[in-house]
Structure 1
Amino acid sequence: MSSAPPTPPWSVHRLPRADGRVFLVTGANAGIGYFVAEQLSATGATVVLGSRNPAKAEAAATSIRAHVAGARVRAVRLDLADLPSLRAVAESLEVERLDAVVHNAGVALDDPPREETAGGHELMFGTNHLGHFALTGWLMPLLAAAPAARVVTTGSFAAKSERLDLDDLQSLQDYRPKRAYGRSKLAQMYFGVELDRRLRAAGSSVASVVAHPGGALDSLTPSRPPVHVRTTGARLSAAPAGLLLQGKHAGAWPAVRAVLDPSVRGGQLWGPRAFGLRGEPRREPVWDHLADGSVAARLWDASRDLTGVDPG
């Protein structure tokens, strides 16, 4: 009898081939999203960079082509703060199927005052969560057309200590920028877990996975001019932080594994190996508060009402 060769252990430095597949990465023109796109493009897949800034998207595409020989990469305009525009994104992809979307784009504000999208939603909640919620709904026909597509939602370690206020999702009563950011990322992660539950109930072939990058700093990130330039001074000053944290290239690893690893299953949470802050990606237990189905269901209903879209 012959048996199949054993599957080699996962390595961030030996990614499996993905020729013929199509991946969309939101916010791919900078930060973690850029490195997710660069790493996915090394597999032979076609990678679409979703960005609201065409010039920055083209700079990112040029950088990827310079670092990945034969990279198949292109860009589409994607503004998650503009909900009415998202319906046209699926058509602009000009593909018959989509094998994965990585929900990575995000807005982070450090200081007041509270800002809103053109649609009247608090900017971080409206962009980070509602935008991706609605986008998923419009992309679902393309995802369902793929044999085993994945929706990968990139959360944040900052969300681990936050809790949602379901009566004040848009921070109208008590706005604190850093807390509002953490809650917007927590809402995204609730969405990723709840989406998979609904997909399984519907018998869908699409899986939803949640990932987070741990502690990822610009100062520990390799240069990719003009997308990112790390000075010698920044590299030296950040050396002590490298004992606990990592660069954004490494912060991309959990999302990349969530897209590519055939052993990954829907509903799982993936993050860095060492204390959830740095290192190669590993599966970690779903955080206790993320497993609260009643909160997830109420958030889903509110998000559906606010966007007019139901991804499930």
Structure 2
Amino acid sequence: MSSASPNRPWDVHRVPPAEGRTFLVTGGNAGIGYFVAEQLAASGAVVVLGSRDAAKADAAMASIRSHVAGAHVRHLQLDIADLASLKAAVERLDVDRLDAVVHNAGIALDDPPRRETEDGHELMFGTNHLGHFALTRWLAPLLSAAPAGRVVTVGSFAARSERLDLDDLQSTRDFRPKRTYGRSKLAQMSFGFELDRRLRAAGSTVLSVVAHPGGALDSLTPSRPPVHTTSPGERLRGLPAGLLVQGKDAGAWPIVRAVLDPEVRGGELWGPRVFGLRGTPRREPVPSHMTDPAVAARLWAASGELVGAEPHFAFR
């Protein structure tokens, strides 16, 4: 598979240097996003944690600094579910260019009732997909200004078994939490692949890559208090599951590789090596239902209408 250089295989514990670059991780204060930010900080890049909760972001930054010597991290007040706030948030980034954005922030509901964002969109579809669709629009000029900008969309294994209902994208007729979550992640992933197709057609230097963490459990995740704490008992009880899945620190590996590996190409899908659930990152075949051009075109058009965006983003 692809590697960081012809001479050295990709090492998840020794990421390549990226001094002078800036990365934005949405939802970088917790879960998979936290470990993506921590691992990217080890590259020497400036890592911006996009989070709506300043206190949680402060705790995450303190934890990263305690685990990564000389880490350059900062917080961007960002509520991905509030579409009207995203343009101002991007302006607060206060950078001339952005080398990569990791579309990680998300929400999963386990039980009814159906909930909505302040904009009136179903909460999971509105947050996981529409928020990142809209954010990409505002980040386009900054990503284009980087020598090799990247949009890395964090998908989910749950999207493999779902299909989009283009006539009911927001689950107004039949809301089932797990299915709606899987469809929201499928919409995200479809957007990531379609974005790269459009970038290539436009001759842009920006790449769009999709990655997913496989199966990532809290019980198998190393403690990062106060961001995350795993008790010895929880870790012991989680050990049998470790045969099939992994912790969120390992779940971050494919995403970090999608950001940093110079051999990664646009339109690729990266995930864990063992059955797509655990292990070191590898490039995976892209399921055909995620790249259906007719479905992607309809999803793009519908998303643009819902967020009030023009059909062509300002990439160059």
Bin the TM-score by the shorter chain. Answer: over 0.9
Give 1:7 shift: 3.2
Unaligned runs of 5+ in 1: none
- In 2: Cα distance, 1:111 partner to 1:52 partner: 24
Give 1:85 shift: 0.1
Residue of structure 2 in register with 1:49 after alignment: 49
Length, aligned pairs only: 308
Residue of structure 2 in register with 1:193 after alignment: 193
Residue of structure 1 in register with 2:166 after alignment: 166
- In 2: Cα distance, 1:73 partner to 1:169 partner: 36
- The one-letter amino acid of 1:308's match is G
SS of the residue 2:11 aligns to: coil
SS of the residue 2:158 aligns to: helix
1:99-145 CA deviation, whole Å, 9 max, x = no partner? 00000000110111100011100000000000000000000000000
SS of the residue 1:238 aligns to: helix
Unaligned runs of 5+ in 2: none
User: After the TM superposition, which segments of 4 or more aligned residues of structure 1 sit over 4 Å from their partners?
Assistant: none
Residue of structure 1 in register with 2:140 after alignment: 140
Give 1:181 shift: 0.5
Give matches, 1:96-107, under 5 Å.
Answer: 96-107=96-107
SS of the residue 2:282 aligns to: strand
- The one-letter amino acid of 1:57's match is A
- In 2: Cα distance, 1:89 partner to 1:252 partner: 25
Conserved in 2, the CA contact under 8 Å of 1:219 and 1:235?
yes
- In 1: Cα distance, 2:35 partner to 2:298 partner: 34
1:71-115 CA deviation, whole Å, 9 max, x = no partner? 000001110110000011221111100000000000110111100
* Greater mean alpha carbon deviation, residues 302-311 or residues 272-281: 302-311
Q: TM-score, normalised by structure 1?
A: 0.98
Residue of structure 1 in register with 2:240 after alignment: 240
SS of the residue 1:101 aligns to: strand
Give matches, 1:108-119, under 5 Å.
Answer: 108-119=108-119
- In 2: Cα distance, 1:203 partner to 1:129 partner: 25
SS of the residue 2:276 aligns to: coil
- In 2: Cα distance, 1:212 partner to 1:15 partner: 18
Give matches, 1:25-44, under 5 Å.
Answer: 25-44=25-44
SS of the residue 1:160 aligns to: helix
- In 2: Cα distance, 1:82 partner to 1:170 partner: 16
RMSD of aligned Cα (Å): 0.9
Residue of structure 2 in register with 1:61 after alignment: 61
- In 2: Cα distance, 1:171 partner to 1:80 partner: 20
1:6-59 CA deviation, whole Å, 9 max, x = no partner? 431111012100000000000001000000000000000000000011110110
Give 1:291 shift: 2.1
Residue of structure 2 in register with 1:9 after alignment: 9
